[in-house]
Amino acid sequence: MLHSVPLVEVWRGDFLESCHRGHVIVCNFDGEIVQAWGNPNHVILPRSSCKILQALPLVASGAADSLGLTTQQLALSCASHQGAEIHSNLVKSWLKDLRKTDDDFRCGIQWPRDTEARNAMIKKDETPCRYHNNCSGKHSGFLTLSAHLGAGPDYHLPEHPVQKAILNTFEEVTGETSPGYGIDGCSAPNWACTIGGLARAMARCSGNSLDILGLASARLRNAMMAHPDLVAGETRACTELMDAAPGVALKTGAEAVFTAIIPSKKMGVAIKIEDGAFRASEAVITAILIRMGLLNAAHPAAVRRLGPISNWDGLQIGSISVVLD
């Protein structure tokens, strides 16, 4: 990646064992870059870090209100969930309200990531379903919007009205024309943008403007902050760090993308780690939250991602640190 910078160092004793390079961009509500490490103009696929942007048309169109969606459902529409019972039961209920079945999803079948849920299914010799897919909340939102628009069943295709609405909104909030898309793990298009554009979009979601998209983004980010357990799940960085830093909406994405919406500062953050390492993206977002005074560095959720490294015998043998000069 052009102009990436060293961001994360992993030490073992006195030896620098690994280094992760990447980009971090912080924007204010006006779209101005407040701080930048790396190249704001580097183009990326934001992956699941932009799910709130993909959910904006669901709310802005009136589809969410037409079905009477709860804050829990709005949070789940922005989620990459674990497939625990709290997630899958909510998705099944949502499908019932839509008068749809698991076969109407286009996200693919996936075993739950939640250990308890997966083990219980294995013991009962059950098979996974599409509602267990970590993106089934997002796809429930797609189905809701598609029904509201009176569109066809293949809501995941780039030319479908649902995806066209998402692209139009995505380009408006990033302030860019997307150069294209990649197909995500859940079969939906994932539109490309610059890292600066992604941070700009997250900053746009941090304010309290009274336009349609402003109201929609406020409802979605507030739902995420109210229900961190639905956005990801136990042991996941999004959930643990939102619990540790109330008032911040966080979302990770595949290949080490991470975004933050910070209403108290009217700022947005976008992170991309060059080599796709989650340990690095989680360390950087943790360091950013600490730097902004939003997270206590001594909180267990912070220490787990930024601090000493211990071996299996409990000996401290190294550390992981973030370099933000």
pTM of this structure: 0.97
Quote the Cα angle for 166-170-175, to 5°.
155
Per the CB < 8 A criterion, the answer to whether 166 and 123 are in contact is no
* Domains within the chain, CATH numbers bracketed: 5-322 (3.40.710)
Joined tokens for residue 188: 């939906």
How far apart (Å, rounded) are the C-alpha atoms in residues 160 and 173? 20
How far apart (Å, rounded) are the C-alpha atoms in residues 98 and 139? 12
Please state, in angstroms and as integers, the Cα–Cα distance from residue 292 to each residue in 32, 201, 284, 295, 297, following that order.
Answer: 17, 19, 12, 8, 11
The string of pLDDT tens digits covering residues 241-298 is: 999 999 999 999 999 999 999 999 999 999 999 999 999 999 999 999 999 999 999 9
Per the CB < 8 A criterion, the answer to whether 144 and 161 are in contact is no
**Facing residues of 26 across strands?**
35, 269
pLDDT, position 33:
98
pLDDT, position 43:
98
pLDDT, position 2:
64
E strands in the chain: 5-12, 15-28, 33-37, 43-44, 181-183, 189-191, 193-194, 249-253, 257-262, 267-273, 308-310, 316-322
